[in-house]
Structure 1
């Protein structure tokens, strides 16, 4: 009866601990993932809204009426098809009248009937609006746009996302972690029951057997006394009775056995702490370069190596991301030999999905697979002059089995950052990213008293290009202009180049003399005039007008600096176009 109660109590306690731990982990993980997902979603629909606003600006520049938004409607349909989360796209004026609706274009007299969105539209406030419509939650991105004269706000582009669709998508993503948690619960419970059987049932049977042997006259039949419960107490009392008779020899053997178990458990705890520390270091950043660096740095805390290299597969091509070696040894020579065999070993790892240890020329090479989405997508090659023991290989494999998710997270984060900062048509920075960088560069120029110049330019008679040759040719012109100008830049932190809007571009240059800025502007002007575009009406050549402004006492803010550059651009236009003009204030 005592055995049944003890086993039941322990089982209930372990089930409660497992349930609470796994449930709490799922709740916290789900909350953090959902929060991050909605943050990224808000940024994405703002970027989509900006793209639609740019398309609308281009349509307005052509003089097309609000009812004749064919190109805008096509882009809206493409976005709705590509992004299933987006429910509807509006174009409304500042009074809330609907000028365009993606799912029904016969609504020119309708008025936006959502108070939250209507307030944001009337106040021309850009941002994300959360609201409830017909008992359904929604997120709306409001992006105001200016009239043709760019003097006042004419209306707003509104991109609406239904939260229920997002929640439905998230619920499908939660399904797999939940199933994995259930599998872990079942497996853990099974292992716990095995441990419980080993710690309770078997010790009791062993105690009965020892008692029977002692009753039969075998006074050397000692019971296991490592347990701290009632069974252990009974065993210790029984053993004390036998030890009084069996003598000091058996006591010494038992001490040696206990010491070995303690050392093994102590080593296991040490390895677990090292593994937690290593994974914590890798998971504490989303920068892809830092993640790769920390993976190899943390590996050295787990297993010794004189050199190691991290390889990741990109589009079926195996690429060495980072290599670490001890120059005081021959590690760098050994790793070069290992790298020559990289593709062969990677193919073998994809088949085995297990670590591979090779000994060659008295050097031990450890090949560790890295799993991303349950597939071997990378590997680490480590080499050491001492052989790798099985415990080191097992610990290192446990580590590399988990770092793949951190590599994937860093890659996704880098892709999201790049997409959020890039103009879709030209491939250069968009206006939003430009201002983020420009504020930093401007303040750096103020702090270091460095020269700061800005070049603002646009394509001359661009509206005529679109009217005569069509928008595809106009898009090709803008993309080619951006590509040609990019070849003249240094692509470092001292310069930032973006599509400012429509056919207008802006380039901010720090720590460069006024003469160099003017020389670069002239080089850009000549480079654009050298471009040629074959069309059905013959070859097309375009020119550009450029305005330059420099930071000084008059241009003490970024806004004024850009305004002076814009004035210089109009000055170049007035001077006959295809020329470079410097702002009068500079």
Structure 2
């Protein structure tokens, strides 16, 4: 028997008000958690002293830059996002070619982690950056090549490295090159002169009767004598010449590309400059003199020690001949 009464339509009772409230509270909770995560992420980016960035390689458009950009570069992030040249314009001119070339290497290597270059911040300060960059392997291929990176401000580290280098290569008392650094540079200059068959001169200088100065006026005055003679050497020598303290009262100089005649003129100027120095201690005024030995590179010289030995012998000959003079060896 056929039931002629049509089936009743299905009916879903309205949700219970409590269920609706629970769903609403759950949704609000999810929104709150997302907001907390966003705030946490933003806070972390603000606290990191490094610039996180992303760039579309094909268009050179900067897609993202973290808040540290404005703090380190002192420039507007909005301007950078609008024009990639803002980054180029901030790079120290001498480092621009390297910065661009090393960035391009990421296409070959996939990652470049040893880039260091300088920028000029908006306030005119020069800062050092260590900038690591990578190709984003997770990016959609349709997006093209996306390069991401992190640029860290290493200015303080570079300043510390520079100070350590200065301390390692400088005589503390006279602020001229110390013995080790002087001879390292002198060896390099000697080898270059030999390869190029260029002239080079070597000078040794010793303060006459320096022990008597210390014994009569004290070591503090003796230190002042050493400092003033070092200052005279820096003032008289040409740009590119080497000058250093290699012993107690002994100094040395190397004149690259300098003929024997020109080297003698420089040594004579130094001799006159030192003779004009005046010192005083307990109302006593005194001066000092120096003996110098000067030599030049010969075709037979295969090592720097040959020049050093000749200059040393010439200097002691100057001592024997009455001091306060220059002898060529």
Where on the TM-score scale, by shorter chain, does this alignment land: which range?
0.5 to 0.7
1-side partners of 2:253 and 2:205: how far apart?
Answer: 9
Residue 314 of structure 2 is matched in structure 1 by 568
Residue 134 of structure 2 is matched in structure 1 by none
Aligned 8 A contact 1:496 1:508 in 2:
yes
> Which runs of 5 or more structure 1 residues have no equivalent in the other structure?
1-214, 217-269, 275-298, 311-320, 326-338, 347-369, 373-394
Aligned 8 A contact 1:271 1:302 in 2:
no
Change in 2 beyond 3 A, CA 1:473/1:457: same
Aligned 8 A contact 2:291 2:324 in 1:
yes
Q: 1:309: how far off?
A: 3.4
Aligned 8 A contact 2:260 2:295 in 1:
no
Say if 2:277 is the partner of 1:531. Answer: yes
Name the SS for the 1:458 alignment partner: strand
Q: 1:408: how far off?
A: 2.7
Say if 2:281 is the partner of 1:541. Answer: no
For 1:270-312, what per-residue CA distance to the aligned partner results, in whole angstroms no more than 9, with x for missing partners? Answer: 92797xxxxxxxxxxxxxxxxxxxxxxxx989951266336xx
Name which structure has the greater RCO, CA cutoff 8 Å, separation 6+.
Answer: 2
Q: 1:412: how far off?
A: 2.0
Name the SS for the 1:455 alignment partner: strand
Name the SS for the 1:577 alignment partner: coil
Q: 1:557: how far off?
A: 1.5
Residue 417 of structure 1 is matched in structure 2 by 165
Matching residue within 169, 185, 189 for 1:441: 189
Name the SS for the 1:487 alignment partner: helix
1:49-448 → structure 2 map (5 Å cutoff): 271=54, 304-305=84-85, 308-309=89-90, 399=150, 402-404=151-153, 406-448=154-196
Aligned Cα RMSD in Å? 3.7
2-side partners of 1:497 and 1:517: how far apart?
Answer: 13
For 1:347-404, what per-residue CA distance to the aligned partner results, in whole angstroms no more than 9, with x for missing partners? Answer: xxxxxxxxxxxxxxxxxxxxxxx899xxxxxxxxxxxxxxxxxxxxxx99x85xx421
Name the SS for the 2:204 alignment partner: strand
Q: 1:490: how far off?
A: 2.6
Name the SS for the 2:54 alignment partner: helix
1-side partners of 2:315 and 2:128: how far apart?
Answer: 54
Name the SS for the 2:89 alignment partner: strand
How many equivalent residue pairs?
A: 218
2-side partners of 1:453 and 1:403: how far apart?
Answer: 45
For 1:27-47, what per-residue CA distance to the aligned partner results, in whole angstroms no more than 9, with x for missing partners? Answer: xxxxxxxxxxxxxxxxxxxxx
Change in 2 beyond 3 A, CA 1:564/1:322: same
1:492-503 → structure 2 map (5 Å cutoff): 492=240, 495-503=241-249
Change in 2 beyond 3 A, CA 1:408/1:525: same
Aligned 8 A contact 2:301 2:307 in 1:
yes
Residue 238 of structure 2 is matched in structure 1 by 490
1-side partners of 2:122 and 2:304: how far apart?
Answer: 51
Aligned 8 A contact 2:259 2:296 in 1:
no
Change in 2 beyond 3 A, CA 1:301/1:470: farther
2-side partners of 1:342 and 1:272: how far apart?
Answer: 22
Residue 161 of structure 1 is matched in structure 2 by none
Aligned 8 A contact 2:128 2:155 in 1:
no
Change in 2 beyond 3 A, CA 1:302/1:551: farther
Name the SS for the 2:252 alignment partner: strand
1-side partners of 2:165 and 2:82: how far apart?
Answer: 33
For 1:450-469, what per-residue CA distance to the aligned partner results, in whole angstroms no more than 9, with x for missing partners? Answer: 01110101111000000000
With the length of structure 2 as denominator, give the TM-score of the two structures: 0.58
With the length of structure 1 as denominator, give the TM-score of the two structures: 0.34
Change in 2 beyond 3 A, CA 1:563/1:300: farther
Runs of 4+ that moved beyond 6 A: 299-302
Residue 303 of structure 2 is matched in structure 1 by 557
